[in-house]
Amino acid sequence: MIDFNNTEIAFQLKTDWELKKAYYLFKLIGNPFLTKIGNGLARFALRLHLPVAWFVKPTIYAHFVGGETIEKCFPVVRRLAHFNVKAILDYSVEGGEREEDFARALQETLKTIANAAKDDNVPFAVFKPTAFAPSHILEKAGKGEDTLDEEEQKQLAAFRERVETLCRAAFEADIPILIDAEHSYYQDIIDKVVRENQQKFNRQKAIVYNTYQMYRHDRLQYLKDDYALAEEKSYFLGAKFVRGAYMEMERERAERMGYPDPIQKNKEATDRDYNAALKFCVEHIDRISIFNGTHNEYSTNYLAGLMQEHGIAKDDPRCFFSQLYGMSDHISFNLANAGYNVAKYLPFGPVRSVLPYLIRRAEENTSIAGQTGRELMLITTELKRRK
């Protein structure tokens, strides 16, 4: 069992001033009323193109984001590497619907692959599929590609081409690439395209990773189906696990549109399936590589225990742990100190473009039971220890 209460190790990256800033930031985020007002004002400012960088950049942006460009992330990557924590540069610009948006996202993501290929402290590349196609195309294609008209077929083909371009670049650079999960109504076509690329590029080892949101009640079986297909077609599976990020939105949409709720009935069911997925993967480690993207202490220790039970070395490249930059340092740094593979998701991008990501971070911290309180308790403990 790893002790996640060692705050000296957890916050060794932060100066006293940075720790105090984090304390006040989480105090603010922990207040649902203030968070709701702040997020509303941020969305209003975005719509009216009002200046926001003067306030956002030194506060929530500095805490959760690496910088505006890949180059500006280098100091953060080096600081993390000093404590054996690696970084995954995530171009976190959201909401593009135009061809120029897709082209810009493609070029930035290709740059992250090239950067990872020459920096041992950046072990993965990553992208969001919705950065490469209009969301309505993904939604409609998920219901069946035969429902698309000629122009929509062209847009879907362009999406496939962009995803393959990224997967091929990752394969040629020998850098694994994580394909993030999206809303359930986009995910069917994304899963199909991911499978196509895994069959092309995962012949020797896992390069292309799909993401399984385990708050969906069908994902454990989908993982097992993926494994069966990988066995049948003789390729390797890359599996990234998260609990999920769109629960309230998914439930509301399912009720409004009259289709079955895709979300687990409760958190216990999510936790059960999440840990069962980890167990399944460890039991099939010869075919599956695992990326454990969690802020849950139990699931972290559970995978560490499974690795020990099955004789898997702590630094086996087939097993990685990950948390978001700016959150759960008590997990990341204590894990890394114990010798496990750890990587922080490090978002980057212009302040205004990354603001939707930051709004979501604030909302998730407010809604996840105990998350903000745990952060505050650990920060307070470390501040007292330093005195």
293 contacts 241 by C-beta, under 8 angstroms: yes
Tokens (6 digits) for 338:
């114990």
83 contacts 337 by C-beta, under 8 angstroms: yes
Residue for token digits 């990501």?
Answer: 357
pLDDT of residue 89: 98
Query: Which run of H or E residues covers position 26?
Result: helix 16-29
pLDDT of residue 146: 87
pLDDT of residue 378: 95
97 contacts 134 by C-beta, under 8 angstroms: yes
Residue 145 DSSP one-character state: G
pLDDT of residue 327: 92
* Tens-binned pLDDT, residue by residue, of the chain (387 aa): 899 999 999 999 999 999 999 998 888 776 665 455 455 555 555 565 655 665 678 788 899 999 999 999 999 999 999 999 999 999 987 656 789 999 999 999 999 999 999 999 999 999 999 999 999 999 999 888 989 999 999 999 999 999 999 999 999 999 999 999 999 999 999 999 999 999 999 999 999 999 999 999 999 999 999 999 999 999 999 999 999 877 888 999 999 999 999 999 999 999 999 999 999 999 999 999 999 999 999 999 999 999 999 999 999 999 999 999 999 999 999 999 999 999 999 999 988 777 777 766 666 655 454 678 899 999 999 999 998
Distances (CA, A) of 47 to 42, 96, 185, 363: 9, 14, 26, 19
pLDDT of residue 245: 75
Where are the chain's structural domains? 64-366
129 contacts 179 by C-beta, under 8 angstroms: yes
The domain defined by 64-366 carries CATH number 3.20.20.220: yes
Residue 213 DSSP one-character state: E
pLDDT of residue 247: 83
pLDDT of residue 361: 64
243 contacts 214 by C-beta, under 8 angstroms: yes
- Beta strands (DSSP E) in the chain are 86-91, 125-127, 177-179, 208-213, 237-242, 288-293, 319-324, 342-348
The alpha carbon of 109 is separated from its chain's Cα centroid by a whole number of angstroms, namely 15
pLDDT of residue 51: 56
Query: Which run of H or E residues covers position 198?
Result: helix 184-201
